[in-house]
C-alpha cells in the first residue's frame, strides 16, 4: 500500500498527455501532444488516454480523431496499424488526411468506380476484395468530409 506522500509522487509521474504520430509512406502527417485519441480498430472503435496500457491493433478505413483541450480534430485513415507504448501512439497508415484536405468530388468518383467494379465482378474473383476495400476507403472519406462541411 502506498503512503500518502508516495501516492502524490505516483500521481506526479503520470502523464497528462499522449504523443500522437500519424505516418504514411509519403509523409509524417502528425506529431503532436494530445489529450485523447479515438480510432477505427478492426474489432471496433477504440479510445486512448494518457497512461493507456500498451497494445497493437489493426485499423480499418475510417475516422481517427484526437482532442487537444476543447478542440477536436478529425482525420481519415485508410487502414493500417496503431501501436500504443509508453504514452506514444503511432499510427502507420497507407494513406491519411485531415478532414479539410479531403477532395469530396474525388472521393465520390472513387466510390462510384468501386461500386461499378463490384457490380461487374463475382464474389469469387480476386478483384472483388480490392474493389470492396476501395469502396470502404471512399465511403470513409465521404463521411469525414461531410462532417467537416457541417462544422
The structural domains of the chain, with segments of one domain joined by +, span 4-100, 102-150
Burial tier of 133 (Cβ tally within 10 Å: 0-12, 13-18, 19+): middle
CATH class of 4-100: mainly beta
Of the candidates 31, 41, 96, 97, the one whose C-alpha atom is nearest the C-alpha of residue 68 is 31
* pLDDT in the model for residue 76: 96
Give me the residue label for grid cell 469469387.
124
* pLDDT in the model for residue 146: 85
Of the candidates 33, 103, 45, the one whose C-alpha atom is nearest the C-alpha of residue 73 is 33
- State residue 45 phi and psi, 5-degree precision: -65, 140
Q: Do domains 4-100 and 102-150 have the same CATH topology?
A: no
Mean pLDDT by 10 residues, the chain (151 residues): 56 77 97 97 96 96 96 96 97 95 94 92 85 92 82 62
* pLDDT in the model for residue 121: 84
The CATH number given to 102-150 is: 1.20.5
* pLDDT in the model for residue 15: 76
* pLDDT in the model for residue 126: 84
User: Model-level pTM?
Assistant: 0.83
Give me the residue label for grid cell 478532414.
99
Amino acid at each position: 500500500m502506498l503512503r500518502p506522500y508516495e501516492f502524490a509522487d505516483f500521481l506526479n509521474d503520470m502523464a497528462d498527455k499522449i504523443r500522437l504520430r500519424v505516418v504514411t509512406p509519403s509523409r509524417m502527417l502528425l506529431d503532436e501532444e494530445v489529450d485523447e485519441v479515438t480510432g477505427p480498430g478492426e474489432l471496433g472503435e477504440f479510445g486512448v488516454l494518457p497512461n493507456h496500457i500498451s497494445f497493437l491493433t489493426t485499423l480499418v478505413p475510417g475516422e481517427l480523431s484526437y482532442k487537444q483541450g476543447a478542440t477536436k480534430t478529425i482525420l481519415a485513415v485508410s487502414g493500417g496499424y496503431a501501436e500504443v507504448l509508453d504514452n506514444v501512439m503511432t499510427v502507420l497508415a497507407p494513406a491519411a488526411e485531415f478532414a479539410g484536405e479531403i477532395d469530396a468530388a474525388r472521393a465520390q468518383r472513387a466510390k462510384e468506380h468501386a461500386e461499378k467494379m463490384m457490380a461487374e465482378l463475382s464474389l469469387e474473383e480476386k478483384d472483388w476484395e480490392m474493389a470492396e476495400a476501395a469502396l470502404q476507403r471512399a465511403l470513409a472519406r465521404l463521411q469525414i468530409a461531410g462532417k467537416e462541411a457541417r462544422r
